[in-house]
A and B are shown apart, each in its own frame.
Chain A
Amino acid sequence: MIDTKKLDYVLKRVNKPARYIGDERNSVEKDFNSVDVRFAFGFPDVYEVAMSHLGMHILYNLINDRDDMLCERVFAPWEDMESLMREHNIPLYGLESKEEIINFDVLGFTLQYEMSYTNILNMMDLAKIPFKSVDRDESHPLIVAGGPCAYNPEPLAEIIDLFMIGEGEEIIVEVFELLKDCKMKGLSRAEFLLLASRIQGVYVPSLYEVEYNEDKTIKSFEPSVESVNPIVKKRYISDVEAMYQMDRVIVPFIETVHDRAVLEVFRGCTHGCRFCQAGMIYRPIREKSSELLLKQADDLIASTGYQEVSLSSLSSCDHTEIDKIAVNLMDKYVDEKVAISLPSLRLDSFSIDLLKQIEKVKRTGLTFAPEAGTQRLRDVINKGVNEENFVNAVSSAFENGWSRVKLYFMVGLPTETNEDLDGIKDMSYLVRDLFFNRNKKDIRGNLQVVASASCFVPKPFTPFQWFKQNTADEFYEKLYYTKDQIKEKKIKFQYHDPKLSILEGLVARGDRRVGEVIISAWEKGCKFDGWSEFFQYDKWIEAMEENDISFDFYNFRERSFDEILPWDFIDINVSKAYLQKEYENAIAETVTPDCRRGCNNCGIEDCEMWSVFR
């Protein structure tokens, strides 16, 4: 255990010390020496961000419900805490027991965002754990990782011992049970890793070898050990009714990003937006029943005292019984001042009506995501929204008293022209006109439109995984062009940093060679790259140059369909042929309908939609 007097001393000098103390309601403190597997769940960002992540809460409770294992949390300390920890020689510790991370059996990281990878290194450094698998031995914790970015594990291949690809509830238990077994039998780490590689969804990078062509593309990617499967199949829970259901969640003392109970209403998404990685990797669609959801809501409210429940999923309004769930919850909890919220809104008046019904205390702002400014480009990206939906939704929002609207767009999408950028202006102006072109007496509130543009980052396992990303200069040119179009005072135009987006693009589609860049960047002081106050673009460029890694190869190059992509060895059930067809449909501006209107044969087996259409 770390020196708690020292910790006390340090905590008096940091901002928000409650980030580092544990002890929250529903946190679980077990005797460190009385379990077989001690797991530290690492989230490579600050407490408030980490604690808002639903997946961590699920795995935390699931593991702690077992007598033979424990799960603690460990997050990236903020800069002030980090420097004091280094000054006073306090190693990274588990929030629950205050035990040093190096004494855990397993340290796992959830990979939610590529630009958090330097924080993984920083946390390992604070824990005094060597970065590379080859530099570690049995005395160090096993380093594992999962989460959406693990679908391209290659940039971290030399750092992480074992990746879990897909949904974690089942696989994490299988891996830890095997670890427990191997520990008892006295097997070595290498022996454990080989056995673990047989579990579906497990990827052990050290068991695979990559060869490259002269043009730097991948020549071959094969297991270096004969018995190892060349393809890693993702894991998903086939029966979401029967899976582990969380009945409690840790309640932070300080305010976090999402300070409420979160109810996951379904997994997967049927829209098939072509830029969206989540929409592909989380297939198939699986809804929880309204009965189960209502019970789970009761449990969560009773065990946390939270006064807000959010119905969370990729597009919550798609749940076939969403009215019933929302209205039932509202009626039940109205006296207890529990509010219901819907974080992801479809662009239609149904969603607005529902929102109007359930939100008793009205928020003044609403967010819509048309993603692209013209119908043509929305057809390219398969965002199934037309102007009529948009006009109806926005009008309905204004009629119901909302006055602040935020619109999300992307720039740098395939086939984009200036006309599409003009569309961003046009839609923002349309919102303004819908607000003012009403009877004077109906106009309430003060209109504010925020048009926010992010820079498109092509992601693995999307139809755009082959696409050539825009350069920083191209992004800037488009963003400035759009900004100059918008002259209306009521409309504010915001945009994301293109430099951050091209680095995100580098890591997202990177291969094993990109790992060295991340390590070099950390050595140069990079951390919290997603936070603008810490982001050091120049350091990243230096790191790339030193390792002979270029944007030209990883970002600004259209890949050919027959090129071996670094993540091709992972099978997400959606076929590569389907993704390719979808890319071709995109270029042809052909819309692919929502799966709920008919099966598009993406390759998924056991899809809930099958029973509807077969």
Chain B
Amino acid sequence: MKLRLKFNKCGNLKFISHLDLIRLFQRSFAMANVPIDYSEGFNPHPRFSIGNPLPLGINSECEYMDLQLREEVIPEEIVDSLNRVLPKNIKILGYSLENLDKNVSRIIEYALYEFTIYDYDKKFDDIDEFNTKISIWLENDEIKITRFRKKKGKKTEIEENIKEYLESVQVVSYEDELKIDAIIRNGAEKYLKPELFFEALNRDLELGIDLNSVYINRVNLFDENMEEII
């Protein structure tokens, strides 16, 4: 049977890479006796996939994975036993048995990110002025970023217009800390790294923020109709 799980990846666990996360789940399935199916062949590997790899260093409250199981299970039991063996800062938050024909990475189209900057040196009078500047920025025909592509070991730079990757951008808090929410494309075909989006915003609005000091949190993932996945 197939099963879709929703989980988070918080705190220090944001520094675990996608590959290390896969290995972590592989060990956790073994410990929790999850009857995961194995691929055929010389070097069998467990059949599960995590939708849309999260960049290293980004917190997430909303991740999904699809599991292929070799027998029928009670989903609540799988969730409980996995939560018993997973490290703190990764928890299974829910499950679904619907819409499983399509792999979850093919369903996800948008992500809501929250960017937090502590101790922000204020550049605008108030939150409204800030949001107005953002609206004007979003109306530009071109919002450019530079992507690095590796082809045959060679690094090349590609300039790209990300305007159509941006759904909404809004300052939600401008008090002790600056908080910006943004919904951007996060699909298998159309994908924008949250860091690249923020770099463009920072550059064009001359925010003067040290990008390493930005705390990024993936709050939610949506399908093409802006509906939640589970």
Give the B-binding residues of A (Cβ under 8 A). 5, 8-9, 11-13, 17-18, 20-25, 251, 253-255, 301-307, 336-337, 361
CB of B156 closer than 8 Å to a CB of A: no
What's the Cα separation between A598 and B119 when bound, in Å?
74
What's the Cα separation between A25 and B57 when bound, in Å?
20
Interface pair B118/A11, CB less than 8 Å apart: no
What's the Cα separation between A301 and B85 when bound, in Å?
13
Give the residue among B12, B29, B30, B56 with the most A Cβ atoms within 10 A. Answer: B12
Interface pair B27/A306, CB less than 8 Å apart: yes
Given A307-B26, A337-B44: A22 touches B12 (CB 8 Å cut-off): yes
CB of B15 closer than 8 Å to a CB of A: yes
Interface pair A304/B27, CB less than 8 Å apart: yes
Interface pair B57/A12, CB less than 8 Å apart: yes
- B57 proximity list for chain A (CB < 8 A): 11-12, 17
Closest to B57 in A: A12
- B85 proximity list for chain A (CB < 8 A): 25, 305
Distance (whole angstroms) from the CB of B185 to the closest CB of chain A? 23
What's the Cα separation between A29 and B137 when bound, in Å?
47
Contact of A18 among B15, B43, B89 (CB under 8 A): B15
Interface pair A18/B212, CB less than 8 Å apart: no
20 A-B pairs whose Cβ atoms sit less than 8 Å apart in the complex = A8-B215, A12-B57, A12-B212, A17-B56, A18-B15, A21-B15, A23-B12, A23-B89, A25-B85, A253-B16, A253-B20, A253-B23, A253-B24, A303-B31, A304-B27, A304-B31, A305-B31, A307-B27, A307-B30, A361-B42
CB of B68 closer than 8 Å to a CB of A: no
CB of B94 closer than 8 Å to a CB of A: no
Given A253-B24, A302-B31, A307-B30: A18 touches B16 (CB 8 Å cut-off): yes
Distance (whole angstroms) from the CB of A109 to the closest CB of chain B? 25
What's the Cα separation between A38 and B212 when bound, in Å?
33
What's the Cα separation between A9 and B118 when bound, in Å?
11
CB of B88 closer than 8 Å to a CB of A: yes
- B215 proximity list for chain A (CB < 8 A): 8
What's the Cα separation between A18 and B212 when bound, in Å?
17
Interface pair B56/A25, CB less than 8 Å apart: no
Given A9-B213, A12-B57: A23 touches B27 (CB 8 Å cut-off): no
Closest to B36 in A: A337
Known: A12-B57, A305-B27. 20 other contacts (CB 8 A): A5-B118, A8-B215, A11-B15, A13-B212, A18-B20, A21-B13, A21-B15, A22-B12, A23-B87, A23-B88, A23-B89, A25-B27, A25-B85, A253-B16, A303-B31, A304-B27, A304-B31, A305-B30, A307-B26, A336-B30
CB of B103 closer than 8 Å to a CB of A: no
What's the Cα separation between A268 and B13 when bound, in Å?
40
Closest to B16 in A: A253
What's the Cα separation between A302 and B32 when bound, in Å?
9
CB of B161 closer than 8 Å to a CB of A: no
What's the Cα separation between A303 and B84 when bound, in Å?
11
- A25 proximity list for chain B (CB < 8 A): 27, 85, 87
Closest to B43 in A: A361
What's the Cα separation between A305 and B42 when bound, in Å?
21
Tell me the residues in window 92-136 of chain B with beta carbons closer than 8 Å to chain A beta carbons.
118
Closest to B211 in A: A12
- B87 proximity list for chain A (CB < 8 A): 23-25
Tell me the residues in window 77-95 of chain B with beta carbons closer than 8 Å to chain A beta carbons.
85, 87-89
CB of B148 closer than 8 Å to a CB of A: no
Given A23-B89, A24-B87, A253-B16: A9 touches B30 (CB 8 Å cut-off): no
What's the Cα separation between A301 and B27 when bound, in Å?
10
Distance (whole angstroms) from the CB of A332 to the closest CB of chain B? 14
CB of B11 closer than 8 Å to a CB of A: yes
What's the Cα separation between A382 and B152 when bound, in Å?
51
Distance (whole angstroms) from the CB of A475 to the closest CB of chain B? 36
What's the Cα separation between A253 and B9 when bound, in Å?
13
- A301 proximity list for chain B (CB < 8 A): 30
- B29 proximity list for chain A (CB < 8 A): 305
Interface pair A337/B12, CB less than 8 Å apart: no
- B26 proximity list for chain A (CB < 8 A): 305, 307
- A306 proximity list for chain B (CB < 8 A): 27, 30
What's the Cα separation between A22 and B29 when bound, in Å?
21
Closest to A17 in B: B15
